[in-house]
Amino acid sequence: MVSNGSECRRLVKIGTLAQLAGVSTDTLRFYEKNGLLAPCSRNAAGYRLYSAREVQRIRFILSAKSVGFTLKEIHELLALEVRREQASCEDVKQLVDEKISVVRQRIAELQRIQGSLQILSDACCGGDEPASHCTILEALNAGPDERLATEE
C-alpha cells in the first residue's frame, strides 16, 4: 500500500494522484489533454509521474471547479503569473483585478442565497412568526429587512 522506495522522491503515478484528489485517472488525462495539469515527468515505460506541485494544482482545479469556474476559466487563473520586472505586469494586474471582482460578485450571490436559506430554515418549526408558508423566492424577497432581525 505504502510505497517503500525511498529513491522515489515523492513522485507518484497517476492512480495515486487520482486517489489523493478523489478523481478518476481518466479525468487526470483529460485535464492534461486540455492543458490544465501535466505530469512533471515520465518514467522509462512512459508512465506519468507527478510531484507535490501537481497535487496542489489538481486541488486548486477542483476547488475552482466546485464554485462554478469552467475549465477554461481555471486555465486562465492558473496561467496568471506575475513577473515584476516585466512590462506586462500592469496587464496582468488588470486581469487579476477583473478576476477578483468576478469572485467578489460570486461571493455576494452566494451570501444572498445563504441568507434566503437561513430565513427558510428559521421560518421552520423554530420561529414564533405567523409565517405558515415560505419558499426560497419569498425568502429572497423578504431580504435583509422586513423579517427576523435575529443575529447569531
- Min dist CB 130 to DNA, Å, is 36
The burial class, CB within 10 Å (0-12 / 13-18 / 19+), for 152 is exposed
Whether the CB-CB separation of 54 and 40 falls below 8 Å is answered with yes
Whether the CB-CB separation of 54 and 17 falls below 8 Å is answered with yes
Beta bridge partners of 50: 12
Residues interacting with its own copies, by CB under 8 A? 2, 10, 52-53, 55-57, 60, 63-64, 66-69, 77-78, 80-85, 89-90, 92-93, 96-97, 99-100, 103-107, 109-114, 117-118, 120-121, 123-125, 131-137, 140-141, 148, 150, 152
> For residues 29 and 77, which CB has a smaller minimum distance to its own copies in the complex?
77
Residues of span 9-68 touching DNA by CB under 7 A: 13-16, 18, 23-27, 29-31, 34, 39, 42-48, 65
Beta bridge partners of 49: 41
- Min dist CB 147 to its own copies, Å, is 10
Cell of 116: 434566503
Per DSSP, the residues of 102-120 read HHHHHHHHHHHHHHHHHHH
- Residue 24 interacts with which of its own copies, DNA, none, CB < 5 to 8 Å by class: DNA
- Min dist CB 66 to DNA, Å, is 10
- Residue 30 interacts with which of DNA, its own copies, none, CB < 5 to 8 Å by class: DNA
Q: Which residues have CB under 8 Å from 148's CB, separation 6+?
A: 119, 122, 127, 129
- Min dist CB 67 to DNA, Å, is 12
Strand, coil or helix: 50: strand
Q: List contacts with DNA (CB under 7 A).
A: 13-16, 18, 23-27, 29-31, 34, 39, 42-48, 65, 70-72
